[in-house]
Amino acid sequence: MDSALPNRIAFLGGYLPRLCGIATFTHDLCEAVALAAPSSQCFAGAVNDRMDAYDYPARVRFELDEKELDSYRRAADFLNFNNTDVLCVQHEFGIYGGGAGSHLLALLKEVRMPVVTTLHTVLREPNATQRRVMEELILRSDRLVVMARRGAEILRDTYAVPLTKVDIIPHGIPDMPFIDSSFYKAQLGVEGRKVLLTFGLLGPGKGIEHAIEALPEIVKRHPNVVYLVLGATHPHLVAREGESYRLSLERLAEDRGVKEHVIFYNRFVSLEDLKEFIGATDIYLTPYLNEAQITSGTLAYVFGAGKAVVSTPYWHAQELLAEGRGILVPFRDPHAIAEGVCAFLDDPGRLKATRDEAYQLGRAMIWPAVAQRFIESFQRARTERRAVPRSAFAGWTLASRPYDLPPLRLDHLVRMSDGTGILQHATFNVPNFHEGYCTDDNARAFILCNLLDELGGRPPMEGIDRLATSYLAFLAAALNPGTGRFRNFMSHGRQWLEEAGSEDSHARALWAAGTGSGRSRNPGHRRLSAQLFERGLPVLESFTSPRAWAFTLLGIHEYLRTFPDHAQALALRETLTARLIGLWKDCATEDWPWFESSATYDNARLCQALILSGQRMAHPEALDIALKSLGWLISVQKTQEGHFRPIGSNGFYVRGGARAYFDQQPVEAQSMVSACLAAFRATRDDQWLREAKRAFEWFLGRNDLGLPLYDSNSGGCSDGLHTDRVSENQGAESTLAFHLSLAEMNLAAHAIAPAPTPAP
């Protein structure tokens, strides 16, 4: 192993004064390593979870906006430019933006130094997104640190990580003297009492209600007991629900007649104050409800300070309290908690022996010892992968750097939206009230909101959830309960102009409802979307529009994310897939490999629907037809100069005739982006990525006129490309086409990662 210490060590995670366990850990680890390696320059990058940044100490040299993808790339640039020798990442799915924290991968793709990642959560049964993120995180980390043997075992068994890549380092703790608890009790005003303690950010997963339920039985045998609940409610929980959890605990204590035996101390305490509370403790309670918790900093703190622990058997507790080093009790069992507490209080000799053993074992957990273990891991990482020389712009060609996408700007969409929904048309960039609203555009807008939420992007305005609510409310109102059909057109005065819309508009509404039920993180949106989808599905059997079939297949694909066994959706997917295949077989020839005798509008959606359905159904014929037809469509929509030229709406393209070049519509570019990205995910062939990029660049000016349709000042998109000019109007359909394309390109940008360059 290389004994030389790294010159520059960067730590990435939350950071104090942000109030969360990861922030505390990152701060304490950075400070401990700085003390253990005074010749090294230690600095931190802080992940912000709010728009107004924290007042960080000088140790924090750069900051990331949790939800802004570009800030991760800028952070990577900062680390590379400053010749950082080792990056130590603190990983928890919830502290980084994107699906399952995938924004972090954008940073890890570009940094050029060895990466040591501390895994604060290791899931044995991850969902598909969590698994993908974890697998790439593992790939891009030179070494992995876990705080318990169980974490290493899960990495080996679930993710096939060789144990030679894993370092098991305990959670660091402050070094506290082993002093009798009565010394601190006097300072806290609880002298003469037996003190039970639970501390940390409060939330329902802590199971504190079960400890309060146990108190009457404990107090009956030991009347001098007091239960101290120390810690503020988690800031994210306060934002969503206020103090409802804490208030429910206070009411429970009153209802059980133990309010004189419970103290709530509602604040995030300093380390010095925390030492006093821990010092005054006789027994620590962790009645947590989630077995899969691999790390508990609070448990480590108290155990290492030499305190007896009664805990539910989550993974970290199982390991730390094994062989009689504490008492483990079943989950959600107040009687067992009472018995465990009384077992210690009834037997002072056992209590003292448990405390002595815990304190001795805790000496290996104090921060100086833990810092030394991390330094050894850093040295292993450098030995195993010598960093590629990091001159400022080495290797930063266009081919090696991620494709820079325009920043998200939703000003025009917000301007086009009101409490009813999104208006159809604009005169220049001003909403046109006269044309009213339509289901087509509100469906597209609702899909966009779900993609943006999944992406984690933070637009320059808050309110994605509010916009999504308006668009979904419009769709709910559009469904005619008497016919089971979605209406399409509504006047500005909120009067429906028809009893039923077109088949295509109905199917687009189903697509949006399927997306909401499969992707939305808002439980009300998810339930209403599923309800609309199920109510609007039965009439599809009678539809004859191939595009309606395709839009419905896209909606079914999304709906099955949440309801994979829904019989009617599965059956209709088979029926509609068979119909598209039948169209192909009846029409396609060697020189016209297409579904119909003309290529008209939203053409690539037919291919996209078959790609997704063929892949999910393991239907190779459907997938083969989809890829062949998409390849042909690309060939007839590409100029000799190499740019995208969508089939024009002034005549379309009829077999045996001349294709129309104009007017070119934004929805054609959008559908091509979506279909090509779906083709890439199905085949992993980079050619499809290049075609998606080509179609997206049509919006930005790589087109027949060399003029951009997207207006970066307003966030709007022109309605089309004419023979001699760009349309001056920025309607909803075109603007949504651009933003849907941008969202999909962004999702692809941080989901698709080339393999790291191996060390020389």
**Can you read off the two tokens belonging to residue 641?**
């100069």
Distances (CA, A) of 224 to 190, 195, 210: 10, 9, 20
| Domain contains 574 | yes
Omega within 30 of 0 (cis) for the link into 2: no
Are 643 and 679 in a shared domain? yes
Do 379 and 252 share a structural domain? no
Predicted pLDDT at 404: 73
Kindly state whether residues 427 and 379 are assigned to the same domain.
Answer: no
In a domain, 393, yes or no: no
pLDDT of residue 628: 97
Q: Residue 719 in contact with residue 416, Cβ under 8 Å?
A: no
Task: Give me the pLDDT at residue 751, please.
Answer: 64
Q: Helix, strand, or coil here: 408?
A: coil
C-alpha 263/C-alpha 226 separation (Å) is 7
Whole-prediction pTM value?
Answer: 0.68
Q: With beta carbons less than 8 A apart as the criterion, state whether 661 and 648 touch.
A: yes
Instruction: Tell me if 403 is assigned to some domain.
Output: no
Query: What pLDDT does 389 receive?
Result: 40
If 0-12 CB within 10 Å is exposed, 13-18 middle and 19+ buried, where does residue 267 land? exposed
Looking at the structure, tell me whether residues 651 and 739 fall in a common domain: yes
pLDDT of residue 268: 67
416 and 295 part of one domain: no
Look at residue 391 and tell me if it is in a domain: no
Q: What's the CA gap between 308 and 482, in Å, rounded?
A: 66
Q: What is the rounded distance in angstroms from the CA atom of residue 447 to the CA atom of residue 667?
A: 14
Low-confidence ranges of the chain (pLDDT < 50): 1, 387-400, 457, 459-461, 753-760
The predicted-structure confidence for 50-78, as pLDDT tens digits, reads as follows 877 799 999 999 999 998 888 898 999 99
SS3 140: coil
In a domain, 640, yes or no: yes
Three-state secondary-structure class, residue 42: strand
User: Residue 225 pairs with which residues in a beta bridge?
Assistant: 194
Task: Please tell me whether residue 367 adopts helix, strand or coil conformation.
Answer: helix
In a domain, residue 457? The reply is: yes
Phi and psi torsions of 676, nearest 5°: -70, -40
| C-alpha–C-alpha distance, residues 753 and 67, integer Å | 19
**Cβ-Cβ contacts under 8 Å for 578 (sequence gap 6 or more):** none
Q: Which domain holds residue 358?
A: 182-362
| Residue 679 belongs to domain with CATH number | 1.50.10.10
Pairing of strands 437-438, 489-490: antiparallel
Q: What is the pLDDT of residues 696-732, one digit of tens each?
A: 999 999 999 999 999 998 999 999 999 999 999 999 9
Which pLDDT does position 231 carry in this prediction?
81
Residues 93 and 140 in one domain: yes
352 and 425 fall within a common domain: no
Quote the pLDDT of residue 461: 41
Residue 433 domain-assigned (yes or no): yes
3-state secondary structure 275-330: HHHHHCCCEEEECCCCCCCCCCHHHHHHHHCCCEEEECCCHHHHHHCCCCCCEECC
Domain boundary among 362, 397, 427: 362
In this structure, the answer to whether residues 617 and 584 fall within a common structural domain is: yes
User: What is the distance between the alpha carbons of residues 11 and 521, in angstroms, rounded to a whole number?
Assistant: 30
Tell me the angle at which helices 567-587 and 546-559 cross, rounded to the nearest 10 degrees: 140
Alpha helices in 503-644 (DSSP H): 503-519, 523-536, 546-559, 567-587, 604-616, 620-636
Structural domain tally of the chain? 3
| Residue 750: predicted pLDDT | 63
Shared domain check, 189 and 165: no
Do residue 354 and residue 379 come from a single domain?
Answer: no
Q: Which pairs count as long-range contacts for 128-132, CB under 8 Å and 24+ apart, including other chains? A: 129/99, 129/100, 129/102, 130/93, 130/100, 132/100, 132/102, 132/751
Give the single-character DSSP code of 719.
S
Are 506 and 642 in the same domain?
yes
Instruction: From 326, 349, 384, give the residue that closes a domain.
Output: 384
Same domain for 140 and 268, yes or no, is: no
Is the Cβ–Cβ distance between 210 and 287 less than 8 Å? Answer: yes
| Residue at 132 is within a domain | yes
CATH number at residue 70: 3.40.50.2000
